[in-house]
C-alpha cells in the first residue's frame, strides 16, 4: 500500500485552498521578482509546490540543502525534478571544513549525545548553507503546514524571518489528505520513503518511521522532547549560544 492509497482524499474546500495557494505564489513572485526562492526540503508538501511552480511557470527560483546526511531516495529527487519539469534546482552544501572539524571533534553520532550538539550539527549542515541560499533574496517560500505540529498550529501565510524577508507559507492551511490528493491527481514524483511510514523526512540518522497514531513529526529527532524538535530553519531565533559554545563553526 502506498502513501497515495493511505492518505489521498478530496476534502471539502480543497479547490479553494489550491486557488488561494496559487494566488499567494503569483503575488509573491510578482512583488519579489528575481529575489524570491522556494527552499525545498523535497518532502511531499514541497513536491506539490515544485509541481505548482513548474506547471504554472511561476518565476520563483528553486533551491535545496544537501546536508551530506540525506537518504539516497531523497537525493534522487533532485535530478528527477529537473528531468520531469525542466527545473533548475540550486543545491547548497555545508562548508566541508566545518563538517570535518565537527565530526573529528564530536564523532559521527554527535547529534544523539545532546541537544546542543544536535543543534550545532543542524547549524553547520543546514543554517549556514540556508543563509547562503537566502543571501540577496527578499522572500522565500516554504512547504510548512499548521497541521504538522502544535508548534506550527498558528502558522501564518505571510511571515517574516529575522532578516525581515518575507517567508511565505502557501500551504499553511492544507491538510495531509490535500497534499496526497494533489500528488495523485498530477502524478507528482515523491520520496518512496513516504510509502514506508515516514511522513516527515530529514537527514537519515535523524529520521525514523512512525507507528499508527504517532504524531506527524514523531520520527524526527525522536530521542528528544517534543518542544526541542525544530532544526532552526523555521524558528525565529537560532540558539546561537548553543551553536557557538561548542565551536561548531569553523
Active site residues: 231
Which residue's C-alpha cell is 540558539?
239
Q: In the set 42, 62, 121, 172, which binds ligand SF4 (CB under 6 A)?
A: 121
Closest listed residue to residue 41, CA positions, set 147, 178, 143: 143
Q: In the set 17, 71, 106, 126, which binds ligand SF4 (CB under 6 A)?
A: 126
Binding to ligand SF4 (CB under 6 A) within 219-238 occurs at 231
**CA–CA dist 61, 146 (Å, integer):** 24
Asked if residue 205 binds ligand SF4 (CB under 6 A), the reply is yes
Q: How far is the CB of 232 from ligand SF4 (least distance, A)?
A: 9
The window from 41-49, 77-85, 114-122, 181-189 that contacts ligand SF4 (CB under 6 A) reads: 114-122
Asked if residue 144 binds ligand SF4 (CB under 6 A), the reply is no
The residue among 67 and 191 lying less far from ligand SF4, judged by its C-beta, is: 67
The window from 22-30, 142-150, 203-211, 233-241 that contacts ligand SF4 (CB under 6 A) reads: 203-211
The window from 9-17, 96-104, 120-128, 172-180 that contacts ligand SF4 (CB under 6 A) reads: 120-128
The residue among 3 and 201 lying less far from ligand SF4, judged by its C-beta, is: 201
Residues 6+ apart with CB under 8 A from 206: 69, 111, 118, 220, 221
Asked if residue 67 binds ligand SF4 (CB under 6 A), the reply is yes
Closest listed residue to residue 3, CA positions, set 230, 209, 217, 229: 209
The residue among 170 and 202 lying less far from ligand SF4, judged by its C-beta, is: 202
Q: How far is the CB of 240 from ligand SF4 (least distance, A)?
A: 16
Task: Kindly calculate the radius of gyration of the chain based on its CA atoms and give it in whole angstroms.
Answer: 18
**CA–CA dist 190, 201 (Å, integer):** 11
Asked if residue 242 binds ligand SF4 (CB under 6 A), the reply is no
**CA–CA dist 238, 223 (Å, integer):** 20
**CA–CA dist 21, 58 (Å, integer):** 12
Q: In the set 111, 171, 210, 248, which binds ligand SF4 (CB under 6 A)?
A: 111
Asked if residue 3 binds ligand SF4 (CB under 6 A), the reply is no
Cα 144 to the center of its chain, rounded Å = 7
| Residues near ligand SF4 (CB under 6 A) | 67, 69, 111, 118, 121-122, 125-126, 202-203, 205-206, 231
Amino acid at each position: 500500500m502506498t502513501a497515495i492509497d493511505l492518505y489521498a482524499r478530496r476534502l471539502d474546500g480543497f479547490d479553494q485552498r489550491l486557488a488561494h495557494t496559487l494566488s499567494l505564489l503569483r503575488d509573491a513572485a510578482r512583488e519579489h521578482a528575481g529575489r524570491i526562492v522556494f527552499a525545498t526540503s523535497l518532502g511531499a508538501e514541497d513536491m506539490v509546490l515544485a509541481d505548482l511552480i513548474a506547471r504554472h511557470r511561476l518565476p520563483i527560483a528553486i533551491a535545496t540543502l544537501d546536508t551530506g546526511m540525506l537518504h539516497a531516495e531523497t537525493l534522487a529527487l533532485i535530478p528527477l525534478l529537473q528531468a520531469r519539469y525542466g527545473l533548475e534546482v540550486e543545491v547548497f552544501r555545508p562548508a566541508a571544513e566545518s563538517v570535518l572539524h565537527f565530526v573529528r571533534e564530536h564523532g559521527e553520532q554527535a547529534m544523539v549525545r545532546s541537544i546542543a550538539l544536535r543543534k550545532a550539527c543542524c547549524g553547520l549542515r543546514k543554517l549556514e548553507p540556508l543563509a547562503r541560499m537566502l543571501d540577496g533574496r527578499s522572500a522565500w517560500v516554504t512547504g510548512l503546514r499548521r497541521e504538522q505540529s502544535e508548534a506550527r498550529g498558528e502558522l501564518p501565510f505571510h511571515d517574516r524571518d529575522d532578516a525581515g524577508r518575507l517567508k511565505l507559507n502557501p500551504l499553511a492551511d492544507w491538510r495531509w489528505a490535500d497534499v496526497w490528493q494533489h500528488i495523485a491527481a498530477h502524478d507528482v514524483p515523491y520520496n518512496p520513503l513516504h510509502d514506508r511510514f515516514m511522513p516527515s523526512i530529514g537527514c537519515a540518522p535523524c529520521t525514523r518511521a512512525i507507528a499508527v497514531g504517532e504524531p506527524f513529526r514523531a520520527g524526527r529527532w525522536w530521542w528528544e522532547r517534543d518542544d526541542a524538535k525544530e532544526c532552526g530553519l523555521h524558528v525565529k531565533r537560532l540558539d546561537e549560544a548553543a551553536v557557538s559554545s561548542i565551536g561548531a563553526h569553523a
